Amino acid sequence: MSATQRTPLAPPGTWALGMRRVSIELKQFFRDRQSAVFNFLLPVLLLVIFGSVFGSQSLGARSDITFAQYFVAGMIASGIVYTSFQNLAISIPLEREDGTLKRLQGTPMPKLAYFVGKVGLVFVAYVAQVTLLMLVGRLFYGLHLPDTAAQWFTFAWVSVLGLVCCTLLGIAFSAVPREGKGASAIVSPVVLVLQFTSGVFFVFSQLPHWMQVFASLFPLKWLTQAMRSVFLPDSAQALEVAGTWELGRCALVLGAWCVAGLVLAVVFFRWTRRGEA
């Protein structure tokens, strides 16, 4: 039959293609050495280094909690930021530059399927990463895995809320780098500054007040705090600035950043390179 005479059939839907996107995104994510190292393995490497150097030091007056335990919670929270925000804010500008986005736009793929693929990638990469972190933390650095259903529940909702929020922010932030090549130089410092001020590398309550105020504006501080509520004993609340885990406030701040992230992503996300429209 000639190509001109056939009746057009509807192309596959958003969900079906979204699942195809997830699988291709995962292949590309793990095959790309840069993304596999910086977004996936980096927290594990940092855990090994920091755990080995400072691991057995106890935290201030608390002789029953080691820095390694405190640090694992921070690294798991950082893992959320690495696999979602840092990953997308660096890879989307590259995809915009190398023609990926333009090629997809020229296919019948519904645009939403692209984002379904990114969300799937982020969730799978995070689950794999956090499993690895918990395993290494448990085996070598005295990490206590949560032992109540309530703690696991907290772990689940904090993870999901954090991933949604940081995925949306990563999509929005992908509009910032002018070139794909320079994206990591813009995104990595943002992540690093937040890590230093949010209680990942240092104990949060020992930071200067202004730094605590600054970090409280952003999601990572609340993610680390909520993760500490999952992995540290309840008595460790005494080490928090507020003296409690403040889970309600964590949910509120992360929820607010989800809404802001969605708005920013819708307003600023670009399919095309600058000057093309």
Q: How many CB atoms lie within 10 A of CB 132?
A: 16
Q: Between 9 and 267, whose beta carbon lies closer to another protein?
A: 9
**Is the distance from CB of 188 to CB of 86 less than 8 angstroms?**
yes
Cβ of residue 112: shortest distance to another protein, in angstroms? 11
Q: Between 109 and 133, whose beta carbon lies closer to another protein?
A: 109
Q: Characterize 57-82 residue by residue with b for buried, 16 or more Cβ atoms within 10 angstroms of its Cβ, and e for exposed.
A: eebeeeeebbbbbbbbbbbbbbbbbb
Binding residues for another protein, per CB under 8 A? Answer: 2-6, 8-12, 17, 20, 24, 27-28, 31-32, 95, 98-100, 102-103, 105-110, 272, 276-277
Q: Between 96 and 221, whose beta carbon lies closer to another protein?
A: 96
Cβ of residue 37: shortest distance to another protein, in angstroms? 14
Q: Between 106 and 248, whose beta carbon lies closer to another protein?
A: 106
Cβ of residue 9: shortest distance to another protein, in angstroms? 4
Q: Between 27 and 178, whose beta carbon lies closer to another protein?
A: 27
Residue 62, strand partner residues: 59
Q: How many CB atoms lie within 10 A of CB 155?
A: 20
Q: How many CB atoms lie within 10 A of CB 37?
A: 11
**In the block, which residue shows the tokens 């105020």?**
213
Cβ of residue 10: shortest distance to another protein, in angstroms? 6
Cβ of residue 228: shortest distance to another protein, in angstroms? 37
Residue 200 dihedral angles phi and psi, to the nearest 5°: -95, -55
| Closest of 90, 46, 50 to residue 179, by C-alpha | 90
| Closest of 230, 243, 94 to residue 174, by C-alpha | 94
Cβ of residue 274: shortest distance to another protein, in angstroms? 13
Q: Between 41 and 252, whose beta carbon lies closer to another protein?
A: 41
